[in-house]
A and B are shown apart, each in its own frame.
Chain A
Amino acid sequence: MACGALAGHVRDIAARRGWPVAVRSLPALLHNRPQKITESAERAVVCALRSGRAVALAYADCGSYGGLDDLCARYRVRRLPGLHCYDVLAGPERVAAMFAAEPGTYVLTDFLLRSFGRAVLAELGLDTHPELWPDYFGHYRRLVWLAQQPTPALAEQAERVAAMFGLPLTRVEVGVSRLEQELARLVEGIL
């Protein structure tokens, strides 16, 4: 079960590594209502377990504040480590250092850049209420793009988003190698 924000990478990695897994994704937009992540994941986990499949969650804590850990304990499944996918992609120490250096850091991923209009502008009501921008983002001081598979189009989009914020953009090439390592650990127990 993968968060929609990671599912593409998870599928690619699983296919490349030849893992005999089916990747089911849950909507990435659940991150805007993280309290719903656990209940959605639970429905999917229960459904998969009932059909006799072994399950692993390609989720970090993702704002469930322990909800996914409780779920994992109840159904004896495992999830990715870390608080957010940023930890999985860049490493928790690197992410912690980033926020320690500047708490007002807004983190972008490839997925978030691709879906910025829908996942951020529309979901936060900024398309209809642009006056809310300072309420959401007024305290941010910089953007950091954790680039997994950067393309010129994504780079352009990152610049556009940075221009919307009016903030400096830092690009950090993280790739998908850490994600791949963590996925390998995750599926080790179920393959």
Chain B
Amino acid sequence: MNPRSAEELLGQLYDNTLTGNGPVVLDLTNAGLAMGLDPETLLYQALIPALEEVGARFERGDFFVPEMLIAGKAMAGALEILRPLLAETGATTIGTIVMGTVKGDVHDIGKNLVNIMFEGAGFHVIDLGVQVAPEKFVDAVREHQADIVGFSAFLTTTMPMFKANINALAKSGLRDQVIVMVGGAPVTQEYADVVGADGYAADASAAVVKAKELLQRRRVGAHA
């Protein structure tokens, strides 16, 4: 602690996010703001890279779920401080995403980490929680005029709900207005293609990249 420069503070913020030291992450976030660093700098030069490294270490098997969770919680704490400031500074929302774990499934650890990454990347995230019925997704997409809707499933037995949700969107006339992304431990690109999703990503960082890419493509297409 007691960083003497912005560079040192960002380094400490990165390290403490990586190790999930929540209270120190909060202190450093406040210290960074007091030092005159803008919220985007804290976010893009420390917090997000740290969580991306957490994801990479998980992939390599160096980190397990608890390390991911405490790092995610540390970053979520920092986001609580930064969110209103980002809004004040006029930082634009990239897009609105409705997220939820499908009906019949109560697993949400992965989804919650993806939410944090989406928020960090500038998305407005509407989290519907777990066991979300198709009609709830439809209502939320309509109410929030979502750009993207994300379905998460952890069980092979609940993956068919992706298709049910997509059918519900189609029935309500919303399918062409919203990008559908799917994810979860058993999900593959192949399965995403089969159910007619627009995007799939294997982890939280890749989900953000994919979402931005799909959104950009849609917006360019809309203006072509």
Residues on B with C-beta less than 8 A from A126 are 66
* A32 is an interface residue with CB less than 8 A from chain B: yes
A132's partner among B66, B105, B107, B157 (CB-CB below 8 A) is B66
Q: How large is the interface on B (under 10, 10 to 19, 20 to 34, 35 or more residues)?
A: 20 to 34
Most buried by A among B61, B65, B156: B65
Q: How large is the interface on A (under 10, 10 to 19, 20 to 34, 35 or more residues)?
A: 20 to 34
Known contacts A96-B157, A99-B157, A129-B66: A139-B186 contact under CB 8 Å: no
Known contacts A65-B185, A132-B69: A139-B106 contact under CB 8 Å: yes
* B177 is an interface residue with CB less than 8 A from chain A: no
How many contacting A-B pairs (Cβ < 8 A)? 50
B69's partner among A83, A100, A135 (CB-CB below 8 A) is A135
* Majority DSSP secondary structure for residues of A touching B: loop
* A166 is an interface residue with CB less than 8 A from chain B: no
* A33 is an interface residue with CB less than 8 A from chain B: yes
Beta-carbon contacts under 8 Å, B50-76 to A: 61, 64-67, 69-70, 73
Residues on B with C-beta less than 8 A from A140 are 106
Residues on B with C-beta less than 8 A from A63 are 185
* B104 is an interface residue with CB less than 8 A from chain A: yes
A132 to B22, CA, bound (A): 13
B131's partner among A103, A123, A129 (CB-CB below 8 A) is A103
Residues on A with C-beta less than 8 A from B157 are 83, 96, 99
Give chain A nearest CB distance to B20 CB in angstroms: 8
* A27 is an interface residue with CB less than 8 A from chain B: no
Known contacts A83-B156, A125-B66, A139-B130: A103-B104 contact under CB 8 Å: yes
Mark B86-109 against chain A: 1 for CB-CB distance below 8 A, else 0. Answer: 000000000000000000111111
A104 to B105, CA, bound (A): 8
* B112 is an interface residue with CB less than 8 A from chain A: yes
A74 to B21, CA, bound (A): 45
* A14 is an interface residue with CB less than 8 A from chain B: no
Please, could you name 5 A-B residue pairs with CB atoms under 8 Å apart, sorted by A?
A: A32-B64, A65-B185, A124-B65, A129-B69, A135-B112
Binding site for B on A (CB under 8 A): 32-34, 36, 61, 63, 65, 83, 96, 99-100, 103-104, 123-126, 128-129, 132, 135-136, 139-140
Closest 9 CB pairs of A and B: A125-B66, A139-B106, A65-B186, A104-B106, A103-B104, A139-B130, A103-B106, A132-B69, A135-B69
